[in-house]
Structure formats: structure tokens, C-alpha cells
Amino acid sequence: MFLVDSHCHLDFPDFAAELDDVIARSRDAGVQMMLTICTHLSKFEQVRAVAEAYPEVYCTVGIHPHEAANEPEVDAETLMRLAEHPKVVGFGETGLDFYYEHSPRAEQERSFRAHIAAARTAQLPIIIHTRNADDDTLRILDDEMEKGAFPGLIHCFSSSHQVAERAVEHGMYISFSGIATFKKAEEIRGSARMLPLDRLLVETDAPYLAPIPHRGKRNEPAFTRHTAACLAKELGLSEQAFAEATSRNFFTLFKKVPSPF
């Protein structure tokens, strides 16, 4: 089994006391690659240090929409310079979150567009967070794609199927988290069934959103396997076939990561 956790936060304090064990459990579960995601530019060095410490861990650089007004204003050039490091393979997470609105909408959009500019120029993927902001997310994606294509994905997918379809039309990928295993998430599973298999990824968003049967506990990359098993069943595939397909998709999107395939 070869699975990739395409989105986790291994630099978070939740893992500090046992990161070696967390990585070991991931290997034992068949999760052979992890992408740890930056949320604060001011903490990027900590994120990068985790990626440097483990051969199977890579990272991104960026600012979460929650932090758009709290972190120093960032531009595409700064992001691209930090992404020159061999372990930095994408930008984000960035995007829009109008559920909590920890940062003003205008600041979120400004930061989002700066990340997109970096992704377009460097041709490295952008990791998009969108919550309660579907219309504005699509507006920005449509507008920015007119300026020139850029690779990316919508992570922890929980939006409408329209958002997924439009993103795929733009050449992007859709990543599913443990939410897909929840009993009331039939609409999300339906989107997974309707999307092309070659556009699907899986993730944990650890330490958040642990899948069934671990719901309510701290999430970790090893639990990617439960989400993958759930979606494989939905798509009528074996776990092995689904794991291989989504892993190949990861390496197709994140071209800086050496592929074992």
C-alpha cells in the first residue's frame, strides 16, 4: 500500500511530543508520503524544519486566510523565494474563510491573489481553503485563470459540487479529508463519485477532522487510510487501486516531489 497524506500540520504543538512515533505509525499504515502545510509565514522555518527532518515529508509556504490580517503582508516574490528550497513544493494554504472571518474579507482576497501569482509564475501548486465562500472563491479563480493558468487543489473539500466541477475545469484537483467518512456527508461522497478519478487526492488535515472510526480524537497521517478506504468503496475500487491512483495524482500535481512510480 502506498498512500499520500496530501495535507497535514506536523509542526503543530499537538505532535511535538511524539512526532517520530506519528511518522512511524504512518509508515506502518501505508502512508508513505506526507505534505505538511504552512499556515503562518512567521512560522515557516518550523514547518520547513519538519520537512527537512524526515525524507517522506515535504512542505508548503503560505498564510492561512484566518491569518491574512495578522501576518506581515506577503507578495508573490517573497513566496517564490522561499519556495526555492527543495523541500518546499507548493503555496498555501490560502483562500477564503467567511465562516469565522478572523481576517477581513479584503485582506483574505489580497493574500489569496498574491499566492495565486506565485503559483502562476513558479508553476507550483496552490493549496486552497474555502469555507462559506464558494461564490467569491469561484469569482477569484475564474478571474485569475484569465491572467494565466496555475496548478492547484481545493483541500478538505466540503463545498458544492459546482465548485468541484469548476475547479476541475480549470485543471485543478480536489482533496478529500476525514469529513467524507461522516454519516451526514453523503453530498461530499457524491462529489467524489462524480469527479474524474485522476483529479482526486486524500488528506487528513491533521490534527483536525479525524475520520471514522477515530472521529473526535486527534487526527494523524496514519488515519488517511480510513478516508481512502471509504472513498474506494464509494467508487467501487479496491483500496490498493484507489491508493495507487490518488498517489499518482499527488506526484503529477506536486512535480517537485520525486515520484516512486
Q: Which residues are annotated as a binding site for a divalent metal cation?
A: 7, 9, 93, 129, 155, 205
What's the angle, vertex CA 135, arms to CA 117 and CA 105, rounded to 5?
A: 65
Cell 463545498 sits on residue: 159
- Give the residue among 260, 258, 256, 224 at the shortest CA–CA distance from 243: 224
**Residues making up the binding site:** 7, 9, 93, 129, 155, 205
> What is the 8-class DSSP label of residue 223?
G
- Alpha-carbon distance of 41 to 116, in angstroms, equals 16
> Position 76: which residue type?
A
Q: Contact at 8 Å (CB) between 41 and 61?
A: yes
Cell of 27: 509508515
What's the angle, vertex CA 233, arms to CA 232 and CA 238, rounded to 5?
A: 55
Rg of the Cα trace of the chain? 17
Cell 491512483 sits on residue: 245
